[in-house]
Each structure stands twice: as structure tokens, then as C-alpha cells.
Amino acid sequence: MVERATTTVVTVSLPNQTLADVRNVAGKRGVSRYVAEAVRRQLALDGLGEIVEDYEASHPPLQDAEVAAAARRLFHAQVGDEAA
């Protein structure tokens, strides 16, 4: 049995052009899903910032190349996850 997540209807304000761009990409009926996925990704990125701060508190700072490589792996994994 697949358990469905519950949802809550909320109202958000977006600039007109941003909403037009989202509708262009997601279609009028896909706006909620598009926004939910964007928020989920942002929350994951916010959590990664905390992990990096904790790591760098006791290790040398991460190099730009390390951060870029991690971002490629992270975003590639998310794209692959969505296809599954």
C-alpha cells in the first residue's frame, strides 16, 4: 500500500513574471508540485549549509572544487531520484 502525504492549502505571493515562468515550465496544474519540489530542494540545501559549517569548525575549509563536485553529485542524484 502506498501512503500519501497530507497537504495543506496555503497562499503565497509571487511576482507576476515568476508565476508566468513557473506555469510555462510546469503547466497551470503543476504549479503546486513545482513549488513543493523547489521548497524541498531549498530545505535540503539549507541543511547542507549547516553540515558544512559544522565540518569546517574542526577541519580546513572546503575548496571550491570540492564544493562544485559535491553539488554535481547532489543535483545529479536528485534528477535520478525524480525519474525513479
pLDDT in tens, the chain (84 residues): 666 778 999 999 999 999 999 999 999 889 999 999 999 988 888 888 888 888 899 999 989 898 888 878 877 755 444 443
State the cell numbers at 17.
513574471
CA distance 63 to 60: 9
Q: Is 3 left (phi over 0), alpha (psi -120 to 50) or beta?
A: beta
Count of other CB atoms within 10 angstroms of residue 74 = 14
Structure confidence at residue 76 (pLDDT): 72
**Domain boundaries along the sequence of the chain:** 16-83
Structure confidence at residue 73 (pLDDT): 84
DSSP 8-class letter at 26: H
Structure confidence at residue 3 (pLDDT): 66
Burial of 83 (0-12, 13-18, 19+ CB in 10 A): exposed
Structure confidence at residue 45 (pLDDT): 81
CA distance 51 to 4: 30
**Centroid of chain to Cα 26:** 15
